[in-house]
Amino acid sequence: MQSSSLVKQDAIVVKHAKYSPVREFWRAFKKQKAALVASIFIVLLIVIAFVGPYIVPYDPFEPDYNAILQTPSAKHLAGTDEYGRDIFSRLIVGSKISLTVSFSAVFLGLILGTILGLISGYFGGWIDKIIMRTCDVLFSFPDLLLAIAIVAILGPGINNVIIAVMVFSIPSFARLVRGATLNAKENVYVEAAKSMGASHVRIMYKHIFPETISELIIFVTMRVGTAILAASSLSFLGLGASPEMPEWGVMLSSGRDYLGTATHVVLMPGIAIFLTVLAFNLIGDGLRDVLDPKIKNN
């Protein structure tokens, strides 16, 4: 009896010595098979987005009027579009646009939303009310409708799409962070920091913000998928990237006239959008299973 309990004790000690949050996270995340595959896909996609322009088999902008609307073949892996441009090359170059737009929109939304959420949750009172009611108003519009309205005001263009997607991301982040803040500010260490005379900014940044990070990571991954979809939708409607750009939504839009005659023109960008959004959502799901304390307790 005694010896066995000793061994157990040892084991715990050993484990503590090796503990690192990253390793702990990785150990749990490895078990999420779908999320793991999705992450590999996204990592590949990011690599392709960076090196893509240097490895494409054809110039994505170069028309070839003698090879219009060709079905996929060894020469053109994903076929050619209505101007004879290589769809595979366009998808590769387009991945950079889609990723850039969605990441920048989500991160801008994340930064602004987090700041607003922290302020709102930490100070409470009338400032909390103003911020949260404004968020409620924004929430009352469907995401895409709000984005369309914003682009309609600012004018079409890829930068304005980023702004539009950012704006409809802000309230979600703000509300999320506010919730976590309300929780965290009741902690004794926050009380302690206050009594030691720490400034509001310091308390918010050093003591409260870290508490919200795990939830934010999950939400960001989920949100990137939504952002890709929203940006593609806006481009599909002619409000985003200009028509010659190999943006996925634009490709989908210009190919829709050929749905009956050359399906691959629509199918290929459609698959690209589908897989990417799915991958981000799977990663988000996986992360939640690993990071969310509520699920862990169960």
> Which of 104, 263 has the CB closer to other proteins?
263
Residues 6+ apart with CB under 8 A from 240: 151, 156, 157, 158, 161, 231, 232, 234, 247, 249, 250
Per CB under 8 A, does 65 bind other proteins?
Answer: yes
Cα separation, 208 vs 24, in Å, equals 23
- Quote the CA–CA distance of 154 and 161 in Å, as a whole number: 9
Binding of other proteins by 59 (CB under 8 A): no
DSSP string, 172-226: HHHHHHHHHHHHHTTSHHHHHHHHTT--HHHIIIIIIHHHHHHHHHHHHHHHHHH
Q: Which of 2, 261, 297, 298 binds other proteins (CB under 8 A)?
A: 261
**Residue 284 Cβ vs other proteins, minimum distance, rounded to whole Å:** 31
178 or 288: whose CB is closer to other proteins?
178
> Whole-angstrom Cα distance, residue 291 to residue 166?
25
Stretch that binds other proteins, among 113-121, 175-183, 250-258, 286-294 (CB under 8 A): 250-258
Q: Cβ 150 to other proteins, closest distance in Å?
A: 17
Asked if 54 interacts with other proteins (CB under 8 A), we say no
Any contact of residue 144 with other proteins (CB under 8 A)? no
Closer residue to other proteins (CB): 12 or 137: 137
The verdict on 254 binding other proteins (CB under 8 A) reads yes
> Under DSSP, is residue 271 helix (H, G, I), strand (E, B) or coil?
helix
Task: List Cα–Cα distances, 213 to 24, 30, 118, 205, 224, in angstroms.
Answer: 16, 20, 12, 11, 16
How far is residue 40 CA from its own chain's centroid? Answer: 15
Rounded Cα–Cα distance for residues 137 and 164 (Å): 16
Minimum CB separation from other proteins for residue 126, in Å? 12
Please say which residue, 179 or 238, places its beta carbon nearer to other proteins. Answer: 238
Nearer to other proteins, 19 or 65 (CB): 65
Q: Is 145 in the site for other proteins (CB under 8 A)?
A: no
Task: Kindly provide the residue ranges of all beta strands, DSSP E only, lying in the chain, ordered along the sequence.
Answer: none
Nearest residue to 151 (alpha-carbon basis) of 143, 142, 163: 163
Binding mask 199-238 for other proteins (x = CB under 8 A): ---------------------------------------x
Binding other proteins by CB under 8 A: which of 4, 260, 293, 294? Answer: 260
Contact pick of 36, 63, 100, 112 for other proteins (by CB under 8 A): 63
> Which lies closer to other proteins via its Cβ, residue 4 or residue 140?
140
Q: Which of residues 108-137 bind other proteins (CB under 8 A)?
A: 137
Told to check if 256 binds other proteins by CB under 8 A, we report yes
C-beta closer to other proteins: residue 40 or 130:
130
The string of DSSP codes covering 154-182 is H-SSHHHHHHHHHHHHHHHHHHHHHHHHH
How many of the other CB atoms lie within 10 Å of CB of 124? Answer: 14
Among 242, 274, 295, 296, binds other proteins (CB under 8 A): 242
Contact between 257 and other proteins (CB under 8 A)? yes
Residue for token pair 């959004």: 277
Binding residues for other proteins, rule: CB under 8 A, are 61, 63, 65, 68, 82-83, 137, 140, 238, 242-244, 254, 256-261
